[in-house]
């Protein structure tokens, strides 16, 4: 019985140590979440309004738009940008993003995948770890995995400019981003966003709007589009990384909070078992003492 008590004590000590770690990780994630949440909350309305304006302008200009970013073409080569975290211990956060990316490839680009025309670009390690073990028929771009830890606008916009150049040259016919949309600390959901070509503005009911707006451009149209379109696309790309980072910290904080609660429940059960075993040991020892005393009297 003494051996059993020692094992229970060691397990209680181990669970208490784990609980201290999960509490610390929860506090760290909460601190990081506040900073990441402020960044995405401040940027999102601005970025969404600019995206809508860009879609509206390119949709209304139609074939008159002197930019390739809004012109849809037959998709032979597609690029899927998968934005995930570098570390785990955040529940199903990364798994949900990766599954959304797989579903996108299988449902929207099965023919391109069969012809070897699908490339997956990773920002964050967990996406690459998931895909490299499961898919040998896809092309992987790992040049920007480390960019997730350096989410400054200058760093991320440089990646966006490179991808826009590739699209303009015909290196890719479509670029889509799979990331996590941050709603609050407890809710993040994987999202697919068509980045290029810029999707046309949809009217209510999901139909493409046929309304034409009469825009007045100052300075001239070509100069405006040359500056405006790349700037909005870079900002949109940056937003997806900030969104994912806020979602990661929220998911990890929630996961560590649940882990701490589970550790507390386990400690309660272990302490009850320990007390029961200790009482049994004491009762057994008392029984042996009383039995020995009775034997001596006889």
Catalytic residue ranges: 90
Q: Give CA 58 to chain center in angstroms.
A: 30
* Of the candidates 125, 258, 129, 126, the residue with the CA atom closest to the CA atom of residue 185: 258
Measured CA to CA, the distance from residue 211 to residue 232 in angstroms comes to 23
- Pairing between strand 174-184 and 187-196? antiparallel
Q: Which residues pair with 187 in a beta bridge?
A: 184
**Would you state the structure tokens that stand for residue 240, as one six-digit string?**
């997806």
- Comparing CA positions, the residue from 204, 203, 195 lying closest to residue 60 is 203
Within 10 Å of residue 59's Cβ, how many Cβ atoms? 21
SS3 173: coil
Q: Coil, strand or helix: which one is 65? A: coil
């Amino acid at each position: 019985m003494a051996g059993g008590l020692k094992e229970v004590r060691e397990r209680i000590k181990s669970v208490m140590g784990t609980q201290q770690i999960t509490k610390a990780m929860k506090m760290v994630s909460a601190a990081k979440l506040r900073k990441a949440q402020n960044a995405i909350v401040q940027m999102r309305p601005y970025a969404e309004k600019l995206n809508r304006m860009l879609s509206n302008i390119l949709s209304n200009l139609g074939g008159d738009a002197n930019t390739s970013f809004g012109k849809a073409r037959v998709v032979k080569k597609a690029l899927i940008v998968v934005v995930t975290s570098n570390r785990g211990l955040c529940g199903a956060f990364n798994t949900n993003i990766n599954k959304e990316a797989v579903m996108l490839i299988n449902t929207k680009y099965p023919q391109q995948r069969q012809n070897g025309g699908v490339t997956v670009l990773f920002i964050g390690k967990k996406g690459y770890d998931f895909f490299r073990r499961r898919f040998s028929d896809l092309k992987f771009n790992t040049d920007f995995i480390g960019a997730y830890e350096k989410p400054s606008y200058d760093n991320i916009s440089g990646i966006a400019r490179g991808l826009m150049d590739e699209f303009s040259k015909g290196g890719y016919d479509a670029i889509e981003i799979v990331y996590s949309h941050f709603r609050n600390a407890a809710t993040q959901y994987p999202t697919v966003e068509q980045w290029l070509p810029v999707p046309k503005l949809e009217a209510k009911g999901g139909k493409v709007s046929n309304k034409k707006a009469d825009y007045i451009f100052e300075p001239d149209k070509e100069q405006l589009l040359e500056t405006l379109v790349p700037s909005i696309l870079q900002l949109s790309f940056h937003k997806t990384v900030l969104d994912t980072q806020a979602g990661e910290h929220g998911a990890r904080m929630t996961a560590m909070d649940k882990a701490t609660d589970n550790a507390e429940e386990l400690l309660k059960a272990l302490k009850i078992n320990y007390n029961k075993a200790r009482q049994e040991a004491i009762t057994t020892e008392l029984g042996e003492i009383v039995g020995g005393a009775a034997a001596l009297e006889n």
